[in-house]
Every structure is written in structure tokens, then in C-alpha cells.
């Protein structure tokens, strides 16, 4: 994989190590990583048992872990409900009137929900869900822009043991339809519109189109944000406010077995169909709770700002569940980092006194382009700890982020995946930092680097693996257990992450990107197969192959190679029509930036497209072993 080596070169050029700020270490929950780590993996079950006891359960577990490789059950026999620990637990404490969520709309509108108010909204929504006859185990699709109702709806489902499936509101109708069909959702909760850089994006028509072929959908609940409200077709379509209006603010919570599914979240894989990653109440609760607490050294006085959208896993684990489990004050803002101007996020940090700021390399690179004068205009002294997630952060962006925020706030480069549920490899506020490295495994986690045959790589490059189970691990791929098994069968005995990684002499892990056919555009995971299948649907296309190409801001961009049907001529209009087709099928994030028309694609003798070869050619690199090439 030449392209990985190339990145590796640039990453390893940065030799500077940043020691942790002593005053931060003094206050931190974990002051000595080596000691804490050694102790945690000497007996991981004891470690997780201790962490789980920091939360409230309705009845205890008989066993911390039942490991029937590769199937795991955590906190066996215990009953709990993640929402009890996100809300009810705090209502019985002084946090009752603490601010839970500060939401800022793209237009500057502000909504503040205390723990008490959030709980009342959640209870009303849960009662409203009951009026639709929904029960434990049913699935509800949530297709909402980044507004508080998204959080309310997720928690309301979880409160009743209903499984939520949040779909990012940037997906187009066919992508939404595929996710609703797979989940067999009975209800969809959506909004009339979302806003993006001042533009109004209509969502309801997307839902209408998506559900036209989804017979399982019984009701559509619509949050109407626009004054000129979208007309609704009763009784199938329900206005959110009316739905909640007469509901009680009290709603008994359903105690659940710890292994009860909490949500399905669809993520891209190497084949066309998205994978429904399943997470459960008990273990996920323990994993997201403790990582939020230790990685960000989260204290009650903090204001925690995570820029993710709950439509992705970061939003699930580190806007909604992890922070609420800790009783934190969360800032969440609709919109882009440079709208209405590139001071947007810095101004929010100043206004709300943000102390923890969790963002992405793509956003940092975007803000870098506008220059240091933007952050310099604002008072960022409230910041204490920074975070990055979603893709490797290049040292240049790391150092820029560090410098503009005051050259004293450590950056937690957190590595994890939709499937892992929680952060698995990360620095802690007490550990020395190497820009570009996600550091070492979190407590209780045995992450390592292996070669293809399962030998541990002492120093050097290989595949990132996790050797033992962890509480927030996915339990299966919805309706597709074989795809779950693949994670554990690729290298027998361990969980293969799909990432290539380098381990240095201090045991620091340097994640280099994906080993498989997954592209990360602006931190969003897109399967090359999904884009290819959208392209092939186009009437002018015979075959398509998609690769990821390095991109200055977005990390990677999509390039497509397309073989046209005989007689079809290449033209700018055709290229545009191909792009539009991907836009309409999958959404903006999946549209190839470059499309090249080719006469044929390189294939293996067994007929598989050799994307690796296309990529090597594109990047001017050595194609490596081509012995399997057909022609």
C-alpha cells in the first residue's frame, strides 16, 4: 500500500513530543497512564466491573463478560436503561436544574434545556410514541437536522426500549429508503427543513419519496420549523408539537436486560449495502460513560462542545450518550464552521466559555485556510482540552490547532469506529502527545498491530486489531451476522478494524487510513461500492470503479473511473448528469469530485476490479504486485 507509506513518511517527520500540562495532570482523574493501564488489563473484567458500578442498575449482573468467541455479552443478567443514567439519575441530584444542552441554530437562535426540561421533553415524546402503539424492540427511524428534537427522540425511544435508527439528514431518498427498509421501521421522525449555509433544505419531500416504497412505515412525525408550515396528510402525518402537546411530562422508564438493543446505526462497508451496526444498553453505557469522563477529564463545571452531528456515531456516543451519562453541559450548534463567517465556532467558544472542544481534522484544515486572525479575535482562554476524531490528523493541522488555542491545551486524537461504539485508542490528559498519533489504547483495551498472519508487529506497520472484547463493541450487524463474523475472522482470534497502522518504539499507534475499499471524505465513511453501484445505475454507464484520493481539506476525495456504454459520447453534461445521479441516490457527501471516462477497468483473473492499481496510477506510485491482473 504505497499511499500509506507516503503518509507515514510525512507523519513520522514530526518528532516533537508535547508533555502534558502539569496543572492538568494534577487535577485529572487519571494521573499516571502506565500504572492505570497495566492495572486495567491485568484483569479487564474487574476493571469494567468497577466502572459499571459508578452507574445505576436496577438489578446486578451475575457475570461481567460472557465471551463465546466472537459473540459477547456484557453485564450478564443485569437490568438497566441507559436513559435512567442519562437523565433520571441526575434529576435525583443537584443537577436537576443544571444545563444539559445549549443548542444554537444556524440563524443564531438559542435553546437551553436543563436536565429537568430535557427529561420532561423526553417523557412527553416517549408517551407520544406509546400512543402510536410502539413497543419495546420496534424500530423508529430518526431523520432530523441537528436540532434538540433529535436528542429528545433518541432518548424517548431508548426510554421505552424502542430501537432508534438515526439517519444523517444529508442522505438522499434512496439511501434513506434502504436504511428504513433494512430496519423495518414503523415510524419515521423528520422535519420540514434543515438549514445549510443560509439555504433551506427541504427534508419532508425526501422522506415522502423514501417511504413510498417502505410498507412498514405507519406514521410520519414532522417537526415544523418554518412559519409557512408544510401541510400534513392526517392521520398518517403528525405534527411534532401537536403530538407532544397533551402528553404527560412523566413516563415510567422500562427496565431492560443489559443486552437489549439500543440503536442501529448504518455505516458503509466494502460491499454496496450499508451495515446496520447494533449497540446495546448496558455495555455501550459503560464504555461511552467512562471514555467521555477520562479522555476529556470531564468535570461538572465544564462546557463541552462537540461539533459532530448525531446522524453519525460521534454524535451518538459523544454528544448524546457519553456526555449526558456524565451529567455534562453540552453545546451543540447547527451549521458549518465557516458560516456566516470563519469565526463561528471560536465565537461560540468565547460566548459560552467552552472548556472542552471536540472537532475533526477536516474542520481544522478548513479553518486553517481562513488564517490565524479568526481565532485570534476571540477569547479562547476557557478551553482546557481539545479533541479530534474521524480521520488521521496531519501534524501541520495538529500544530495549528494547538497554537491558535493557546499552545497549552492538549489535543486528544481519539481513534474509534461506529462498530467500536466508544473511543479505543487515545491520549489522556496525563500522557505526552505526538502530533499525528492517536497514542495508546484506552484503559481495559488491548489494541495492537498485526501482520496478515496474526503475528504482532513490535515496531512498524500492519493492521490495527483489538485482541479482546470491550463493553461498547457492536453486538452484531442487523440481520446479517455473517458480516459481523468477518470482523473477527479476517485475522483469527482478534477484531480487525480495517485500518492500517504503525506502532512506534513507545507503543504509540499511528493510524494511516483504511486497508479496505472505504473512503473517508471529511471524516464521513463512504464505501466505494455504494458510489459504484449508484454510478452503474445511470443509463450511460457499464462499469465504474471508485477510489479515495488525498485531498487538502477533506482528507480524501472521491474519484470515479467510468466505462460508458457503446455509442455514448463523453461530454461535460454527461459528467454533470453522473454527479447528479449520485447526489440524488446517496447524497452530497458521496458525489465524486472527479470522474474520468476510461475504456476498461483493470481486473483480477477472477473478475474483481483492482482499485489498488487505479489508485497507484492516479497517485503516480508503484502498483506493487500485479500478478493477479487479467490484462
Site residues, ligand AMP (CB under 6 A): 267, 313, 389-392, 413-415, 417-418, 438, 497-499, 511, 514, 520, 525
Nine-digit cell string for 623:
502498483
Q: Considering the complex, state which of residue 337 and residue 390 has its C-beta at the smaller distance from ligand AMP.
A: 390
Distance CA 593, CA 583 (A): 11
Residue 525 contacts residue 418 (beta carbons within 8 Å): yes
Sign of the CA dihedral 490, 494, 495, 499?
negative
Distance CA 111, CA 469 (A): 39
Q: Considering the complex, state which of residue 226 and residue 506 has its C-beta at the smaller distance from ligand AMP.
A: 506
Q: Considering the complex, state which of residue 4 and residue 596 has its C-beta at the smaller distance from ligand AMP.
A: 4
State the nearest-atom distance from the C-beta of 312 to ligand AMP, in Å: 6
Distance CA 86, CA 433 (A): 31
Distance CA 117, CA 99 (A): 9
Q: Considering the complex, state which of residue 243 and residue 510 has its C-beta at the smaller distance from ligand AMP.
A: 510
Which residue has cell 482523574?
Answer: 29
State the nearest-atom distance from the C-beta of 295 to ligand AMP, in Å: 11
Q: Considering the complex, state which of residue 166 and residue 258 has its C-beta at the smaller distance from ligand AMP.
A: 166
State the nearest-atom distance from the C-beta of 469 to ligand AMP, in Å: 18
Neighbours of 342 (CB within 10 A): 21
State the nearest-atom distance from the C-beta of 275 to ligand AMP, in Å: 10
State the nearest-atom distance from the C-beta of 303 to ligand AMP, in Å: 23
Q: Considering the complex, state which of residue 138 and residue 530 has its C-beta at the smaller distance from ligand AMP.
A: 530
CA distances from 281 to 86, 161, 217, 261, 328 (A): 12, 9, 25, 6, 19
Q: Considering the complex, state which of residue 330 and residue 438 has its C-beta at the smaller distance from ligand AMP.
A: 438
Q: Considering the complex, state which of residue 289 and residue 416 has its C-beta at the smaller distance from ligand AMP.
A: 416
Nine-digit cell string for 534:
449508484
Find the angle CA(16)-CA(18)-CA(23) to the nearest 5 degrees: 165
State the nearest-atom distance from the C-beta of 418 to ligand AMP, in Å: 3
Percent helix / strand / coil, the chain, rounded to 5:
35, 25, 40
Q: Which of 230, 208, 235 is nearest to 131 (CA)?
A: 235
Distance CA 169, CA 201 (A): 10
Q: Considering the complex, state which of residue 375 and residue 513 has its C-beta at the smaller distance from ligand AMP.
A: 513
Residue 275 contacts residue 459 (beta carbons within 8 Å): no
CA atoms within 13 A on the CB side of 43: 6
Neighbours of 229 (CB within 10 A): 11
State the nearest-atom distance from the C-beta of 392 to ligand AMP, in Å: 4
Residue 555 contacts residue 364 (beta carbons within 8 Å): no
Q: Considering the complex, state which of residue 267 and residue 332 has its C-beta at the smaller distance from ligand AMP.
A: 267
Distance CA 590, CA 586 (A): 6
State the nearest-atom distance from the C-beta of 577 to ligand AMP, in Å: 29
Q: Considering the complex, state which of residue 279 and residue 514 has its C-beta at the smaller distance from ligand AMP.
A: 514
Residue 453: helix, strand or coil by DSSP? coil
State the nearest-atom distance from the C-beta of 425 to ligand AMP, in Å: 8
State the nearest-atom distance from the C-beta of 446 to ligand AMP, in Å: 17
State the nearest-atom distance from the C-beta of 626 to ligand AMP, in Å: 26
Pairing of strands 275-280, 476-477: antiparallel
State the nearest-atom distance from the C-beta of 611 to ligand AMP, in Å: 16
Pairing of strands 303-306, 329-333: parallel
Sign of the CA dihedral 244, 249, 252, 256?
positive
Q: Considering the complex, state which of residue 171 and residue 415 has its C-beta at the smaller distance from ligand AMP.
A: 415
Residue 420 contacts residue 317 (beta carbons within 8 Å): no
Amino acid at each position: 500500500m504505497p499511499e500509506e507509506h507516503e503518509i507515514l513518511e510525512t507523519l513520522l517527520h514530526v518528532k516533537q513530543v508535547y508533555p502534558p500540562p502539569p496543572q492538568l495532570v494534577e487535577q485529572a482523574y487519571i494521573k499516571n497512564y502506565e500504572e492505570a493501564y497495566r492495572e486495567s488489563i491485568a484483569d479487564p473484567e474487574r476493571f469494567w466491573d468497577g466502572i459499571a458500578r459508578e452507574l445505576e442498575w436496577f438489578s446486578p449482573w451475575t457475570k461481567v463478560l460472557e465471551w463465546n468467541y466472537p459473540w459477547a455479552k456484557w453485564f450478564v443478567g443485569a437490568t438497566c436503561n441507559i436513559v435512567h443514567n442519562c437523565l433520571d439519575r441526575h434529576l435525583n441530584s443537584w443537577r436537576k436544574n443544571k444545563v444539559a444542552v445549549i443548542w444554537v441554530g444556524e440563524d443564531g437562535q438559542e435553546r437551553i434545556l436543563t436536565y429537568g426540561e430535557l427529561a420532561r421533553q423526553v417523557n412527553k415524546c416517549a408517551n407520544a410514541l406509546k400512543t402510536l402503539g410502539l413497543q419495546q424492540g420496534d424500530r423508529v427511524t430518526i431523520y432530523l437536522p441537528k436540532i434538540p428534537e433529535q436528542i429528545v427522540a433518541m432518548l424517548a425511544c431508548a426510554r421505552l426500549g424502542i430501537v432508534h435508527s438515526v439517519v444523517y439528514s444529508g442522505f438522499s431518498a434512496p439511501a434513506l429508503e434502504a436504511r428504513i427498509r433494512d430496519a423495518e421501521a414503523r415510524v419515521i421522525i423528520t422535519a420540514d427543513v434543515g438549514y445549510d449555509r443560509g439555504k433551506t433544505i427541504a427534508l419532508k419531500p425526501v422522506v415522502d419519496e423514501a417511504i413510498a416504497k417502505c410498507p412498514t412505515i405507519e406514521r410520519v412525525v414532522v417537526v415544523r420549523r418554518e412559519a409557512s408550515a408544510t401541510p400534513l396528510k392526517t392521520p398518517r402525518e403528525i405534527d411534532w408539537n401537536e403530538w407532544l402537546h397533551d402528553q404527560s411530562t412523566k413516563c415510567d422508564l422500562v427496565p431492560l436486560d443489559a443486552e437489549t438493543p439500543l440503536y442501529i446505526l448504518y455505516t458503509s462497508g466494502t460491499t454496496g449495502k450499508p451495515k446496520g451496526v447494533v449497540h446495546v444498553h448496558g455495555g455501550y453505557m459503560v464504555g461511552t460513560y467512562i471514555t467521555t469522563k477520562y479522555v476529556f477529564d470531564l468535570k461538572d463545571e465544564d462546557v463541552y462542545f462537540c461539533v459532530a452531528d448525531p446522524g453519525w456515531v460521534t454524535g451518538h456516543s459523544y454528544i448524546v450518550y457519553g456526555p449526558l451519562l456524565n451529567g455534562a453541559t453540552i453545546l451543540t450548534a447547527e451549521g458549518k464552521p465557516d458560516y456566516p463567517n470563519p469565526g463561528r465556532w471560536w465565537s461560540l467558544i468565547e460566548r459560552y466559555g467552552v472548556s472542552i472542544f471536540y472537532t475533526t481534522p477536516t474542520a481544522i484544515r478548513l479553518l486553517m485556510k481562513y488564517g490565524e486572525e479568526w481565532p485570534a479575535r476571540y477569547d479562547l482562554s476557557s478551553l482546557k482540552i481539545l479533541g479530534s476524531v474521524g480521520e488521521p490528523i496531519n501534524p501541520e493541522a495538529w500544530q495549528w490547532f494547538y497554537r491558535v488555542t493557546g499552545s497549552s491545551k492538549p489535543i486528544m486524537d481519539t481513534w474509534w469506529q461506529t462498530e467500536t461504539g466508544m473511543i479505543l485508542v487515545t491520549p489522556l490528559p496525563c500522557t505526552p502527545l505526538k502530533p499525528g498519533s492517536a497514542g495508546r489504547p484506552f484503559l481495559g483495551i488491548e489494541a495492537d498491530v498485526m501482520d496478515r498472519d496474526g503475528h504482532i508487529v513490535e515496531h512498524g506497520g500492519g493492521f490495527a486489531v483489538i485482541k479482546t472484547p470491550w463493553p461498547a463493541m457492536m453486538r452484531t450487524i442487523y440481520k446479517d451476522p455473517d458480516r459481523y463474523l468477518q470482523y473477527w475472522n479476517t485475522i483469527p482470534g482478534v477484531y480487525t478494524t480495517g485500518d492500517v497502522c504503525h506502532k512506534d518504539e513507545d507503543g504509540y499507534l499511528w493510524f494511516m487510513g483504511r486497508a479496505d475499499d472505504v473512503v473517508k471524505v471529511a471524516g464521513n465513511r463512504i464505501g466505494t461500492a455504494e458510489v459504484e453501484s449508484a454510478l452503474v445505475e445511470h443509463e450511460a454507464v457499464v462499469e465504474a470503479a471508485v477510489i479515495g484520493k488525498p485531498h487538502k481539506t477533506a482528507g480524501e476525495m472521491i474519484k470515479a473511473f467510468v466505462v460508458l456504454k457503446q455509442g455514448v459520447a463523453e461530454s461535460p453534461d454527461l459528467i454533470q448528469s453522473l454527479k447528479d445521479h449520485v447526489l440524488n441516490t446517496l447524497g452530497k457527501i458521496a458525489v465524486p469530485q472527479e470522474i474520468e471516462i476510461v475504456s476498461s477497468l483493470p481486473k483480477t483473473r477472477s473478475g474483481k476490479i483492482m482499485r489498488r492499481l487505479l489508485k497507484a496510477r492516479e497517485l503516480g506510485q508503484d502498483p506493487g504486485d500485479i500478478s493477479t491482473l487479467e490484462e
